[in-house]
Amino acid sequence: MPGFEVLGKEERQQIMEVLDTGVLFRYEFAEQRRGIYKVREFEQAFAAYTGAACAQAVTSGTAALKVALRALGIGPGDEVITQGFTFVATWEAILEVGAIPVFAEIDQTLAMDPGDLKKKITDRTACIIPVHMLGGAADIDRITAIGAEAGVPVLEDTAQAAGGRVGGRHLGTFGRCGTFSFDPVKTLTTGEGGMIITDDEELWRAMSEYHDHGHDHLPNAGGRGGEGRHFLGDNYRMMELQGAIGLAQLAKLDAMIESQRAHKSRLQEAAAVLPGVEFRKHPDAAGDSATFFAFILQDEEQQRRVNTVLCEQGVGAISFADNSWHFYPRWEHLLAGSSRVASGWPFAEPGGRKRVVYDPDALPASVELMKRTLVYPVSIKMPESRLAQIATALQMAADA
């Protein structure tokens, strides 16, 4: 990762087709655009690629989560279970629609622990959002089975795992819907952008309307000015330039993943020299999108010692236990209930009554696991010299 490494003539050609029409907006201007609808084409291509019936393009992965939650009818009074190792956008979206995030532990998949998920379900649980973190799959079959048993829909946050599969089936197609991010550091990038996929046409139609101020997009004599509105919406429309880039990037996605898998395999072979090392569990290793390589040491002391050597050699790994963007105990604004709203919403009701208070020590199993885990991002064009440098440093760490 990421896809900007392979930006080239294909993206330029797609962009020029848009610029030649002068139409950047995804709707209207039929005569001027001469049949060129890049966002619509990107949606159709992405749905076909993943095997989903429908796809809805939006402005970001965060927007994808919000639009999906709204389409599912999630709001105040609801709880949504997600995991304590994810990007902040997952739980920001839940709070933004008025629901309350409930955080589950992770297991060695580095995604939601199905056992802890089961314990967290209550009669207020309205949705489950497992996150396919760092390019690898959650234990999605067990998670969807638990959701089905409880009568709770599963929304897959697939922001970091486009192109990942389990049993040949694309991640994002196991739940009611799946969301994707195409931001600057994703394998498939459009600069900013996102997508939601689903097999539920009614759900897709709600997403289509909500993301565009409630417009129903039905043909009518008055054009866009004559469209109806069934409910309140918002603006999360992807523009044609993003759709154009997405089409070119999607055509390269499998090749990008193949390259990442080869580089990840080299890294895993190199890290195998570390005493007692383990690797993250994959429900289907053959379907890993390989955007990251994670290895798990015996204890925190060994992790610190190993990474000190790696840093000294100029190839330090990421310790997500210390990362303020992705790990529950580091989300100081969540734990403090910080808000710019005078009433304290969404952490408090008007009048000051607390809606939720988060305990920083609520996820001990996740903390213990993350303190032992180191991660390398895997790039598409990873130089042989870089791979050799990391391998040498890992051997030095093993010998230290």
CA atoms of 188 and 182, how far apart (whole Å): 6
What is the SS3 assignment for 177? Answer: strand
Whether omega before 76 lies within 30 degrees of 0, making that bond cis, reads no
Q: What's the alpha-carbon Rg for the chain, to the nearest Å?
A: 22
Strand order in the sheet with 373-377: 278-279, 292-296, 373-377
CA atoms of 80 and 120, how far apart (whole Å): 10
CA atoms of 149 and 145, how far apart (whole Å): 6
Tell me the three-class secondary structure of 196-209, residue by residue: EEECCHHHHHHHHH
Secondary structure letter of residue 281 according to DSSP: -
CB neighbour burial string for 337-351, b if at least 16 within 10 angstroms, e if fewer: eeeeeeebebbbeee
CB neighbour burial string for 161-175, b if at least 16 within 10 angstroms, e if fewer: bbbbbbeeebbbbbb
Residue 318 near residue 306, CB atoms below 8 Å: no
- Nearest Cα neighbor of 81 from 72, 68, 71, 90 is 90
- Does the annotation mark 9 as catalytic? no
Q: How wide is the angle at C-alpha 127 spanned by C-alphas 145 and 201, nearest 5°?
A: 85
Which among 66, 118, 119, 186 is annotated as catalytic? Answer: 186
Q: How wide is the angle at C-alpha 111 spanned by C-alphas 107 and 116, nearest 5°?
A: 55
CB neighbour burial string for 178-213, b if at least 16 within 10 angstroms, e if fewer: bbbbbbeebbbbbebbbbbbbebeebbbbbbbbbbe
DSSP characters for 327-391? BGGG-HHHHHT--SSTT-TTTB-TTS-BS----TTS-HHHHHHHTTEEEEE--SS--HHHHHHHH
Q: In sequence order, what are the residues at sequence separation of 6 or more whose Cβ sits closer than 8 angstroms to the Cβ of residue 331?
A: 88, 324
Secondary structure letter of residue 239 according to DSSP: P
Q: Supply 17's token pair.
A: 């087709």
Known catalytic residues are: 186
